[in-house]
Amino acid sequence: MTGERVLVTGATGFIGSHLVERLLEQGLAVRCLVRSNKPLPAGAEAVKGDLLTGEGLERSLEGVGLVYHLAGVTKPLTVSGYDDGNVRATETLLRACEQAGIGRLIHVSSLAAAGPSPDGSPLTEEDTPGPVSHYGRSKLRGEGAVRGSPLASRTVIVRPPVVYGPRDTDVLQVFRAAAKGLIFTIGRQESYFSFVYVSDLVDGLLRAAAAESAGGKTYFLASLLPVTWAEFGRIAASAAGAQASRIPVPVWAAQAAGVVAERLARLTGKPGILSRDKIREARHRFWTCSPALAMHDLGFRARTSLQDGIAATYAWYKDAGWLN
């Protein structure tokens, strides 16, 4: 794909920033649709635009053959914000891509669109989705927009589970607590989740774009084996030279904290990671999925071990001054 112009939405976000760097390393001409003046890696071209209104889309797609759609909303101030950011924005992009004759679109969804596993067995792409949160339902509706679009056969939908790595601000909270010897979990039972290190996810996104046979398909991109939050926290604590203890938080207390966090978000205009929507997701024990189809079709492998990924992430957080 050397020399092909690529458009990335969500380029200033956690995953998007890593993807843009990798694309530039491969010698691609990278254009980023952005709403703010956040810095981009040297060599990336910024085009101001808005996915909800369509502003700037026509210009951003000029000369583009491949689009990575990572932009979305995970922490809106209102429930309607999920559909604005994850459904209507996607519909606007799809119409613009169709008019521009885009050859391939990689649509980044989420395991939340599929929902949790009811019995602990890793979900496959053939399982009927059962999202349990406003966020998950909006991501599933975004997938529906893709499947109902004329671009469906040229689009690959990827569903990452928990993504961690340098620059992430969500799993950062787990690292901060673990460094202080604390692992907070909801309820008394262990909870299992699938995960992927950010550089491995980027590798999967590149493979999805390169595989001609992947058009029209959906893939889970995850490490092979799940982990418990307690074990993840213990490894993070070990990276920090600490020993962490698991502290079960009653469901009622977590829900109350979600209510308080939402009220504070509305007062400050700054939504955080904690909300009732996230508590709805966290109450389920098994957020697990199988990467078998991606391994078969794309040759995808999440090669970063959990220990190595956590160690690299912790070192980055520490150097960046994010652990306080």
Q: Which residues are catalytic?
A: 135
Q: How far is CA 233 from CA 3, 179, 278, in A?
A: 42, 9, 18
The alpha carbon of residue 250 and the mean position of all alpha carbons in its chain are separated, in whole angstroms, by 27
Question: What is the spatial distance between Cα 46 and Cα 31, in angstroms, rounded to a whole number?
Answer: 6
Q: What is the DSSP string of 141-164?
A: HHHHHHHTSTTGGGEEEEE--EEE
Secondary structure element (H or E) that encloses residue 294, with its range: helix 292-298
Give which of 182, 247, 203 is closest to 21, Cα–Cα: 203
Question: What is the spatial distance between Cα 258 and Cα 206, in angstroms, rounded to a whole number?
Answer: 36
User: Residues for the chain: how many in total?
Assistant: 324
How is residue 120 annotated by DSSP? S
First to last CA, the chain: 42
Give the pairing type, strands 5-9 and 29-34.
Answer: parallel
How is residue 121 annotated by DSSP? S
